[in-house]
Protein backbone atom coordinates (compact mmCIF):
# COMPACT_ATOMS: atom_id res chain seq x y z
CA UNK A 1 0.00 0.00 0.00
CA UNK A 2 1.39 3.44 -0.94
CA UNK A 3 1.63 6.32 1.50
CA UNK A 4 -0.26 9.36 0.32
CA UNK A 5 1.18 11.55 3.10
CA UNK A 6 4.44 11.27 5.01
CA UNK A 7 5.76 13.63 7.62
CA UNK A 8 9.31 13.48 8.87
CA UNK A 9 10.31 15.10 12.18
CA UNK A 10 7.54 17.65 11.72
CA UNK A 11 7.58 20.44 14.29
CA UNK A 12 4.93 23.12 14.29
CA UNK A 13 4.87 25.61 17.15
CA UNK A 14 2.86 28.66 18.17
CA UNK A 15 5.60 31.22 18.75
CA UNK A 16 5.24 34.43 20.72
CA UNK A 17 8.21 36.76 20.85
CA UNK A 18 8.73 39.97 22.75
CA UNK A 19 12.08 41.77 23.05
CA UNK A 20 12.62 40.08 26.41
CA UNK A 21 10.83 36.76 26.10
CA UNK A 22 10.13 33.93 23.66
CA UNK A 23 7.33 31.44 24.27
CA UNK A 24 6.87 28.31 22.17
CA UNK A 25 3.74 26.15 22.32
CA UNK A 26 4.94 22.85 20.86
CA UNK A 27 1.63 21.70 19.40
CA UNK A 28 3.21 19.31 16.84
CA UNK A 29 6.45 18.16 18.37
CA UNK A 30 8.62 16.01 16.08
CA UNK A 31 6.03 13.88 14.32
CA UNK A 32 7.06 11.27 11.75
CA UNK A 33 4.04 9.47 10.37
CA UNK A 34 2.98 7.57 7.24
CA UNK A 35 -0.60 7.82 6.02
CA UNK A 36 -1.72 5.16 3.54
CA UNK A 37 -3.92 5.64 0.49
CA UNK A 38 -7.55 4.58 0.47
CA UNK A 39 -8.11 4.48 4.24
CA UNK A 40 -9.98 6.36 6.93
CA UNK A 41 -7.74 7.45 9.82
CA UNK A 42 -9.14 8.61 13.14
CA UNK A 43 -7.11 11.00 15.31
CA UNK A 44 -8.05 10.97 19.01
CA UNK A 45 -6.67 12.56 22.15
CA UNK A 46 -7.51 14.99 24.94
CA UNK A 47 -8.49 18.57 24.24
CA UNK A 48 -5.46 20.75 23.53
CA UNK A 49 -3.10 17.88 22.59
CA UNK A 50 -2.54 19.29 19.07
CA UNK A 51 -5.02 17.43 16.86
CA UNK A 52 -6.31 20.53 15.04
CA UNK A 53 -2.83 21.99 14.74
CA UNK A 54 -1.59 18.75 13.17
CA UNK A 55 -4.35 18.91 10.52
CA UNK A 56 -3.78 22.61 9.83
CA UNK A 57 -0.05 22.04 9.51
CA UNK A 58 -0.21 19.08 7.12
CA UNK A 59 -2.79 20.95 5.11
CA UNK A 60 -0.20 23.70 4.60
CA UNK A 61 -2.20 26.28 6.55
CA UNK A 62 0.25 27.19 9.30
CA UNK A 63 0.00 30.96 9.75
CA UNK A 64 1.63 33.11 12.45
CA UNK A 65 1.74 32.67 15.37
CA UNK A 66 1.82 29.03 14.16
CA UNK A 67 5.10 28.23 12.39
CA UNK A 68 6.62 25.08 10.94
CA UNK A 69 10.02 25.09 12.61
CA UNK A 70 11.30 21.81 11.25
CA UNK A 71 10.64 18.69 9.23
CA UNK A 72 8.89 17.83 6.00
CA UNK A 73 5.36 17.16 4.73
CA UNK A 74 5.36 14.94 1.64
CA UNK A 75 2.28 14.19 -0.46
CA UNK A 76 2.29 11.61 -3.21
CA UNK A 77 1.18 13.61 -6.26
CA UNK A 78 1.05 11.84 -9.64
CA UNK A 79 3.46 9.16 -8.43
CA UNK A 80 6.04 11.58 -6.98
CA UNK A 81 6.55 12.82 -3.43
CA UNK A 82 6.20 16.60 -3.16
CA UNK A 83 7.23 18.48 0.00
CA UNK A 84 4.53 21.10 0.41
CA UNK A 85 6.69 23.17 2.76
CA UNK A 86 8.87 23.91 -0.30
CA UNK A 87 6.14 24.84 -2.78
CA UNK A 88 5.50 28.35 -4.06
CA UNK A 89 2.07 29.81 -3.26
CA UNK A 90 0.96 29.20 -6.83
CA UNK A 91 2.09 25.54 -6.80
CA UNK A 92 0.38 25.00 -3.47
CA UNK A 93 -2.85 26.65 -4.65
CA UNK A 94 -3.10 24.04 -7.39
CA UNK A 95 -2.98 21.21 -4.87
CA UNK A 96 -5.44 22.75 -2.43
CA UNK A 97 -9.00 21.44 -2.86
CA UNK A 98 -8.28 19.51 -6.03
CA UNK A 99 -5.87 17.29 -4.14
CA UNK A 100 -6.10 18.20 -0.45
CA UNK A 101 -9.50 19.09 0.98
CA UNK A 102 -9.74 20.59 4.47
CA UNK A 103 -12.96 20.69 6.46
CA UNK A 104 -12.18 22.92 9.45
CA UNK A 105 -13.93 23.00 12.81
CA UNK A 106 -17.25 24.84 12.62
CA UNK A 107 -17.29 24.49 8.84
CA UNK A 108 -21.07 24.24 8.68
CA UNK A 109 -21.08 28.02 9.02
CA UNK A 110 -18.70 28.30 6.07
CA UNK A 111 -21.36 28.48 3.37
CA UNK A 112 -22.00 32.02 2.19
CA UNK A 113 -25.22 32.98 4.04
CA UNK A 114 -26.48 35.46 1.45
CA UNK A 115 -26.40 33.25 -1.65
CA UNK A 116 -28.19 30.03 -2.49
CA UNK A 117 -26.24 26.78 -2.05
CA UNK A 118 -25.98 26.23 -5.80
CA UNK A 119 -24.19 29.57 -6.19
CA UNK A 120 -21.67 28.51 -3.54
CA UNK A 121 -20.98 25.35 -5.55
CA UNK A 122 -20.66 27.45 -8.72
CA UNK A 123 -18.21 29.90 -7.09
CA UNK A 124 -16.15 27.04 -5.73
CA UNK A 125 -15.98 25.02 -8.95
CA UNK A 126 -15.27 28.02 -11.20
CA UNK A 127 -12.44 29.09 -8.90
CA UNK A 128 -10.66 25.80 -9.67
CA UNK A 129 -11.83 24.64 -13.09
CA UNK A 130 -12.50 26.18 -16.48
CA UNK A 131 -16.19 25.80 -17.26
CA UNK A 132 -16.83 25.90 -21.02
CA UNK A 133 -20.22 24.28 -21.10
CA UNK A 134 -22.30 25.05 -18.00
CA UNK A 135 -24.49 21.98 -18.40
CA UNK A 136 -21.69 19.49 -19.06
CA UNK A 137 -18.97 20.94 -16.86
CA UNK A 138 -21.03 22.09 -13.89
CA UNK A 139 -24.72 21.11 -13.71
CA UNK A 140 -24.32 17.43 -14.60
CA UNK A 141 -21.31 16.68 -12.38
CA UNK A 142 -22.98 18.58 -9.51
CA UNK A 143 -26.19 16.57 -9.74
CA UNK A 144 -24.23 13.35 -10.10
CA UNK A 145 -22.16 14.17 -7.02
CA UNK A 146 -25.18 15.03 -4.85
CA UNK A 147 -27.05 11.97 -6.11
CA UNK A 148 -24.15 9.66 -5.33
CA UNK A 149 -24.00 11.10 -1.83
CA UNK A 150 -27.76 10.77 -1.33
CA UNK A 151 -28.32 14.51 -0.88
CA UNK A 152 -31.64 15.94 -2.11
CA UNK A 153 -31.52 18.36 -5.07
CA UNK A 154 -33.71 20.80 -3.16
CA UNK A 155 -30.68 21.90 -1.12
CA UNK A 156 -29.34 23.67 -4.20
CA UNK A 157 -32.18 26.18 -4.17
CA UNK A 158 -31.93 26.82 -0.42
CA UNK A 159 -30.10 29.47 1.51
CA UNK A 160 -27.87 27.98 4.22
CA UNK A 161 -30.15 29.19 7.05
CA UNK A 162 -33.03 27.19 5.56
CA UNK A 163 -31.14 23.93 6.15
CA UNK A 164 -30.79 22.07 9.44
CA UNK A 165 -27.31 22.00 11.05
CA UNK A 166 -26.79 18.39 9.98
CA UNK A 167 -27.82 19.09 6.39
CA UNK A 168 -25.60 22.19 6.29
CA UNK A 169 -22.67 20.09 7.40
CA UNK A 170 -23.40 17.44 4.75
CA UNK A 171 -23.67 20.12 2.06
CA UNK A 172 -20.36 21.65 3.20
CA UNK A 173 -18.69 18.24 2.96
CA UNK A 174 -20.24 17.68 -0.49
CA UNK A 175 -18.81 21.05 -1.55
CA UNK A 176 -15.37 20.25 -0.15
CA UNK A 177 -15.25 16.95 -2.07
CA UNK A 178 -16.76 17.85 -5.44
CA UNK A 179 -13.32 18.07 -7.05
CA UNK A 180 -12.54 14.48 -6.03
CA UNK A 181 -9.65 15.29 -3.66
CA UNK A 182 -7.15 12.55 -2.89
CA UNK A 183 -7.05 13.39 0.79
CA UNK A 184 -9.65 14.91 3.09
CA UNK A 185 -8.65 16.44 6.42
CA UNK A 186 -11.78 16.77 8.57
CA UNK A 187 -11.70 18.50 11.97
CA UNK A 188 -14.55 17.55 14.34
CA UNK A 189 -17.18 17.37 11.56
CA UNK A 190 -19.77 15.76 13.86
CA UNK A 191 -19.37 18.03 16.88
CA UNK A 192 -22.46 20.10 17.80
CA UNK A 193 -24.77 17.74 15.91
CA UNK A 194 -27.40 15.48 17.44
CA UNK A 195 -26.91 11.72 17.22
CA UNK A 196 -29.07 11.25 14.11
CA UNK A 197 -27.32 14.07 12.23
CA UNK A 198 -23.95 12.70 13.39
CA UNK A 199 -24.79 9.33 11.94
CA UNK A 200 -25.73 10.90 8.61
CA UNK A 201 -22.42 12.81 8.46
CA UNK A 202 -20.44 9.66 9.27
CA UNK A 203 -22.31 7.74 6.59
CA UNK A 204 -21.65 10.54 4.11
CA UNK A 205 -17.91 10.47 4.80
CA UNK A 206 -17.89 6.68 4.45
CA UNK A 207 -19.77 6.93 1.13
CA UNK A 208 -17.37 9.57 -0.20
CA UNK A 209 -14.39 7.44 0.73
CA UNK A 210 -15.75 4.33 -0.87
CA UNK A 211 -16.74 6.22 -4.06
CA UNK A 212 -13.64 8.36 -4.45
CA UNK A 213 -11.15 5.90 -2.91
CA UNK A 214 -9.34 8.73 -1.17
CA UNK A 215 -7.86 8.99 2.30
CA UNK A 216 -9.67 10.70 5.14
CA UNK A 217 -8.02 11.92 8.33
CA UNK A 218 -10.77 12.60 10.82
CA UNK A 219 -10.19 14.40 14.10
CA UNK A 220 -12.72 13.92 16.87
CA UNK A 221 -12.81 13.44 20.64
CA UNK A 222 -15.64 11.01 20.18
CA UNK A 223 -14.31 7.44 20.38
CA UNK A 224 -17.71 6.06 19.31
CA UNK A 225 -17.39 7.98 16.03
CA UNK A 226 -13.90 6.51 15.55
CA UNK A 227 -15.19 3.00 16.25
CA UNK A 228 -17.84 3.56 13.58
CA UNK A 229 -15.78 4.97 10.78
CA UNK A 230 -12.00 4.67 11.20
CA UNK A 231 -9.97 1.86 9.62
CA UNK A 232 -6.95 2.98 11.55
CA UNK A 233 -6.43 5.09 14.65
CA UNK A 234 -3.78 7.58 15.72
CA UNK A 235 -3.65 8.50 19.40
CA UNK A 236 -2.19 11.92 20.12
CA UNK A 237 -0.76 13.10 23.42
CA UNK A 238 1.04 16.41 24.06
CA UNK A 239 1.91 17.10 20.43
CA UNK A 240 2.98 13.58 19.41
CA UNK A 241 1.39 10.36 18.23
CA UNK A 242 1.84 7.78 20.95
CA UNK A 243 0.06 4.85 19.29
CA UNK A 244 -1.13 3.79 15.84
CA UNK A 245 -3.07 0.64 14.98
CA UNK A 246 -6.08 -0.70 13.10
CA UNK A 247 -9.19 0.44 14.95
CA UNK A 248 -10.34 -2.96 16.17
CA UNK A 249 -6.85 -3.88 17.35
CA UNK A 250 -6.48 -0.55 19.15
CA UNK A 251 -9.76 -0.97 21.02
CA UNK A 252 -8.99 -4.60 21.90
CA UNK A 253 -5.28 -4.43 22.64
CA UNK A 254 -4.19 -0.90 23.49
CA UNK A 255 -0.47 -0.86 24.30
CA UNK A 256 0.28 2.68 25.47
CA UNK A 257 -0.74 3.41 29.09
CA UNK A 258 -2.48 6.60 27.91
CA UNK A 259 -4.52 4.70 25.29
CA UNK A 260 -5.42 2.13 27.94
CA UNK A 261 -6.89 4.91 30.09
CA UNK A 262 -8.65 6.43 27.08
CA UNK A 263 -10.30 3.13 26.16
CA UNK A 264 -10.78 1.89 29.71
CA UNK A 265 -12.79 5.00 30.61
CA UNK A 266 -15.38 4.37 27.88
CA UNK A 267 -18.78 3.09 29.01
CA UNK A 268 -19.61 -0.44 27.90
CA UNK A 269 -23.04 -2.04 27.72
CA UNK A 270 -23.78 -3.98 30.93
CA UNK A 271 -20.40 -3.15 32.50
CA UNK A 272 -20.96 -1.49 35.88
CA UNK A 273 -17.31 -1.43 36.94
CA UNK A 274 -15.74 1.83 38.13
CA UNK A 275 -14.01 3.68 35.28
CA UNK A 276 -10.58 5.14 35.93
CA UNK A 277 -9.28 7.96 33.78
CA UNK A 278 -5.65 9.04 33.57
CA UNK A 279 -4.54 10.68 36.84
CA UNK A 280 -3.47 14.33 36.78
CA UNK A 281 -3.75 16.57 33.76
CA UNK A 282 -1.85 16.91 30.48
CA UNK A 283 1.33 19.03 30.49
CA UNK A 284 1.45 22.55 29.13
CA UNK A 285 2.76 22.42 25.57
CA UNK A 286 4.75 25.55 26.41
CA UNK A 287 6.54 23.74 29.19
CA UNK A 288 6.85 20.04 28.38
CA UNK A 289 8.50 17.70 30.86
CA UNK A 290 11.80 16.14 29.88
CA UNK A 291 11.56 12.57 28.55
CA UNK A 292 8.26 10.92 27.68
CA UNK A 293 5.52 13.60 27.87
CA UNK A 294 3.17 11.11 29.59
CA UNK A 295 5.63 10.07 32.32
CA UNK A 296 4.30 12.38 35.09
CA UNK A 297 0.88 10.66 34.78
CA UNK A 298 2.04 7.15 33.99
CA UNK A 299 1.51 4.41 36.60
CA UNK A 300 4.36 2.37 35.02
CA UNK A 301 6.97 5.16 34.87
CA UNK A 302 10.62 3.99 34.83
CA UNK A 303 13.84 5.99 35.10
CA UNK A 304 14.43 6.03 31.34
CA UNK A 305 10.99 7.65 30.81
CA UNK A 306 12.06 10.71 32.78
CA UNK A 307 15.07 11.41 30.56
CA UNK A 308 14.50 10.04 27.05
CA UNK A 309 11.65 10.35 24.56
CA UNK A 310 10.44 6.99 23.19
CA UNK A 311 10.16 6.67 19.39
CA UNK A 312 6.96 5.47 17.70
CA UNK A 313 7.92 1.88 16.83
CA UNK A 314 6.13 -1.11 15.29
CA UNK A 315 6.12 -3.67 18.08
CA UNK A 316 3.40 -5.90 16.58
CA UNK A 317 2.45 -6.17 12.89
CA UNK A 318 0.78 -2.88 11.90
CA UNK A 319 0.73 -1.73 15.53
CA UNK A 320 3.04 1.10 16.57
CA UNK A 321 3.56 2.49 20.03
CA UNK A 322 5.84 5.04 21.62
CA UNK A 323 6.52 3.64 25.08
CA UNK A 324 9.64 2.20 26.76
CA UNK A 325 7.53 -0.66 28.15
CA UNK A 326 7.30 -1.95 24.57
CA UNK A 327 10.49 -0.81 22.88
CA UNK A 328 13.71 0.81 24.05
CA UNK A 329 14.04 2.82 20.84
CA UNK A 330 14.25 6.52 21.59
CA UNK A 331 14.11 9.73 19.60
CA UNK A 332 17.70 10.69 18.77
CA UNK A 333 19.17 14.18 19.16
CA UNK A 334 16.21 15.43 21.14
Ligand X SMILES: Nc1ncnc2c1ncn2[C@@H]1O[C@H](COP(=O)(O)OP(=O)(O)OP(=O)(O)O)[C@@H](O)[C@H]1O
Nearer to ligand X, 50 or 310 (CB): 50
Integer CA distances (angstroms), 290 to 46, 51, 242, 325, in order: 20, 21, 16, 17
Taking the complex as a whole, how short is the minimal distance between the CB of residue 234 and ligand X, in angstroms?
A: 12
Per CB under 6 A, contacts with ligand X among 10-39 are 14, 25, 27
- Dihedrals phi, psi of 84, to nearest 5 degrees: -70, -15
Integer CA distances (angstroms), 270 to 179, 252, 267, 273, in order: 45, 17, 9, 9
Nearer to ligand X, 206 or 221 (CB): 221
Vertex 63: Cα angle to 111 and 14 (nearest 5): 120
Taking the complex as a whole, how short is the minimal distance between the CB of residue 91 and ligand X, in angstroms?
A: 26
Nearer to ligand X, 65 or 152 (CB): 65
User: Does the protein bind ligand X through residue 251 (CB under 6 A)?
Assistant: no
Integer CA distances (angstroms), 8 to 33, 44, 255, 272, in order: 7, 20, 23, 43
Taking the complex as a whole, how short is the minimal distance between the CB of residue 65 and ligand X, in angstroms?
A: 5
Nearer to ligand X, 253 or 265 (CB): 265
Taking the complex as a whole, how short is the minimal distance between the CB of residue 268 and ligand X, in angstroms?
A: 23
Nearer to ligand X, 49 or 73 (CB): 49
DSSP state of 15: E
Nearer to ligand X, 48 or 141 (CB): 48
Per CB under 6 A, contacts with ligand X among 143-202 are none
Closest CA to 54 of 29, 71, 34: 29
Nearer to ligand X, 14 or 124 (CB): 14
Q: What is the per-residue binding string for ligand X in 219-238, x denoting contact by CB under 6 A?
A: --x-----------------
Closest CA to 167 of 119, 159, 78: 159
Contact between 171 and 155 under an 8 Å Cβ cutoff? The reply is yes
Vertex 273: Cα angle to 267 and 275 (nearest 5): 55
Taking the complex as a whole, how short is the minimal distance between the CB of residue 218 and ligand X, in angstroms?
A: 12
Q: What is the per-residue binding string for ligand X in 266-305, x denoting contact by CB under 6 A?
A: -------------------x--------------------
CA end-to-end span of the chain = 31
Taking the complex as a whole, how short is the minimal distance between the CB of residue 222 and ligand X, in angstroms?
A: 11
Taking the complex as a whole, how short is the minimal distance between the CB of residue 273 and ligand X, in angstroms?
A: 27
Contact between 111 and 167 under an 8 Å Cβ cutoff? The reply is no
Per CB under 6 A, contacts with ligand X among 123-142 are none
Contact between 330 and 313 under an 8 Å Cβ cutoff? The reply is no
Per CB under 6 A, contacts with ligand X among 77-96 are none
Strand, coil or helix: 296: helix
Residue 326 CB: number of other CB atoms within 10 A?
A: 18
Per CB under 6 A, contacts with ligand X among 34-63 are 45, 47-53
Taking the complex as a whole, how short is the minimal distance between the CB of residue 263 and ligand X, in angstroms?
A: 18
Residues in touch with ligand X (CB under 6 A): 14, 25, 27, 45, 47-53, 65, 221, 285
Amino acid sequence: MLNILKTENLKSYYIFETPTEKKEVKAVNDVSIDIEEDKIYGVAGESGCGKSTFLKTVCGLAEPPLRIVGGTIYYLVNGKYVDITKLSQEEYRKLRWEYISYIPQGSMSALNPIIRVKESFKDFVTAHKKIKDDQKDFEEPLRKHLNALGLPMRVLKSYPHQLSGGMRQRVTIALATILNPRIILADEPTTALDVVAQRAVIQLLKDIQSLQKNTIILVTHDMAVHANIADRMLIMYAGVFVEEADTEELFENPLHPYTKFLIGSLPKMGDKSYKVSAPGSPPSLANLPQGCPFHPRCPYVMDICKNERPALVETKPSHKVSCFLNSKERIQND
